[in-house]
Amino acid sequence: MEHLTKSRIAEYEQCEKRFWLSLHRPELATVAGGSLFSGGNQVGGLARALLPDGVAVTEIDATAAVEQTAELIQTYPGRPIFEAAFRHERVLVRADVLLPEEGGWRMIEVKSSGSVKAYQLADLATQVWAAQGAGLPLAGAAIRHVDTKFTYPGGGEYAGLFKDAEVQGELGSLIAGRADLVGEAWGLALAGEPVKEPGPHCSDPFECPFTAYCLQTAPAQPDYPVTLLPGVAGKKIAAQLSAAGYLDLRDVPVGAIEPPAQVRIHEATRSGMPYHDRGAFAAAVGAWSSPRHYLDFETIAHVVPPWAGTRPYQAVPFQFSCHVEEADGALTHTGFLDLSGDDPSRACAEALISCIGDEGAIITYNVAFERGCITGLAARFPDLSDALMARAERLVDALPLVRAHYYHRDMRGSYSIKAVLPAVVPSLSYADLEGVHDGQGAQAAFLEATAPNVSPQRRDQLREQLGRYCELDTWAMVELVRVLAV
């Protein structure tokens, strides 16, 4: 290995073992999970397109790229340079953008995030350290990230999509420590496999592709570890219990946990008997007016908004499912799904108004999400706003009722509907669905179904999978309420 790269150094900063395995045992990696919508390539391309007089380093070979960079700096001192390459102390970096300024160059790291992250500062510090070490006069450094307040006007006009965060002042201590950090990384690269137990670093800031390998050799974990206690309070209690030597929640003595919500989890886990305050649950549900509408949305959040009037990372609903339960218990189902590739927002809003009449509770599971979808549609379509906002006022939330009145130890500290459903209604399972099993899978299916090259047969298959998934979300709410209230 001739040099380290920014990515290798970032791996070392996340986990020494990940770094070592990437170098010496890459075949042990499995595909790591990540955001489907990071949009890095598209964002990078747009950042270049907004600098039309820029010139790019096209060489792939490290030595050739460094030489081409030097030539471009000399030949085009007044033009932006893309992918400029620098090598210093056996570290090779490539800067996304160099902008000419009085007194030198301004280094720009382009990111698809909506704000500056700590790991991005570390990445940029590596770039600045190497470029300055190679002799580049730097006048500034910034992270160019997506501005989430940007509203796309349409017509391919993306000026204003990016926002620069001037961070050079925050890089001083990071840059000062780069030489030692690089030396440590090289020392580890030439040593044997390090010992590192799995922990939070396995997914922070990125999912590690070697987690499965590391778990094979890690000590066996109890079925119900104290770490399953949810929320900030639960994590604090879990840390205290771990420090006291408790690993399995079933071994924790009665009385060692005090907050009522955590006590319920502890007692149900110890006894194996669910906590279920049926009367309180039924009383709360009894206040919901009929007809009851069980509602769930699926949304897509593009980094680079493709539809006029939308913003980066805005959750745009493309699908909903609604089960309507009459006072006598009769049920009907209505669904909406737009796979045309056009903006689905208005059609979704109109279908929602039609589906949900002027009376009755609208039941959700985590109401903030559905309310955000409805109020977002109301903001975009003033002529539909009154009808949509009237429906938003009728929203009720089943999640806090479940959280307050039910817990089964097989939920393992989670109150998500996918954790609660198999405990309450074992006959229903998301695992039985074909293709789409969760929200991320629904988003991936939407992207595939709306891609220009998808076949009609595949689009129809995805349409069916999406329909079954979203319908199960609302049917699950119906069944949860019925079982827990009776």
Which 8-state DSSP code applies to residue 225?
B
Residue 170 token pair: 């925050």
Instruction: Determine the Cα–Cα distance for residues 435 and 445; give it in Å rounded to an integer.
Output: 8
Residue 77's pLDDT is what? 93
Residue 98's pLDDT is what? 98
Residue 33's pLDDT is what? 46
CB 82 within 8 A of CB 96: yes
Helix (H) / strand (E) element for 142: namely: strand 138-146
Instruction: Determine the Cα–Cα distance for residues 216 and 218; give it in Å rounded to an integer.
Output: 6
Residue 197 token pair: 């137990």
What DSSP line would sit under 317-350, residue for residue? EEEEEEEEE-TTS-EEEEEEE--SSS--HHHHHH
For residue range 119-161, list pLDDT tens digits in order. Answer: 999 999 999 999 999 999 999 999 999 999 999 999 999 999 9
Specify the pTM: 0.90
Q: Dump strand ranges (E) for 207-300.
A: 275-276, 292-300
Residue 218's pLDDT is what? 78
Phi-psi region of 158 (alpha: psi -120 to 50; beta: other; left: phi over 0): alpha
Q: Dump strand ranges (E) for 315-435.
A: 316-325, 331-337, 362-364, 395-397, 406-407
For residue range 341-354, list pLDDT tens digits in order. Answer: 999 999 999 999 99
Residue 217's pLDDT is what? 79
Helix (H, G, I), strand (E, B) or coil at 420: helix
Q: 433 Cβ partners below 8 Å, 6+ apart?
A: 465, 468, 469, 472
Any idea which residue has 């955000």 for tokens? Answer: 372
Helix (H) / strand (E) element for 83: namely: strand 81-88
Residue 39's pLDDT is what? 66
Residue 276's pLDDT is what? 97
Alpha-carbon dihedral angle through residues 308, 311, 312, 318, given to the nearest 10 degrees: -70
Instruction: Determine the Cα–Cα distance for residues 235 and 367; give it in Å rounded to an integer.
Output: 24
Q: 150 Cβ partners below 8 Å, 6+ apart?
A: 160, 161, 305, 311, 312
| Cα distances (angstroms) measured from residue 335 to each of 241, 290, 356 | 47, 20, 11
| Segments of the chain with pLDDT less than 70 | 31-39
Phi first, then psi: what are they for 317, rounded to 5°? -70, 130
Count CB atoms within 10 A of the CB of residue 180: 9
Residue 285 token pair: 């549900």
Q: Which of 376-379's residues contact partners 24+ apart within 8 Å by CB, and which partners?
A: 376/314, 376/315, 376/316, 376/317, 377/317, 377/345, 377/348, 377/349, 377/352, 378/349
Residue among 179, 93, 186 nearest 136 (CA): 93
Residue 212 token pair: 């499965």
Residue among 315, 301, 313 nearest 113 (CA): 313
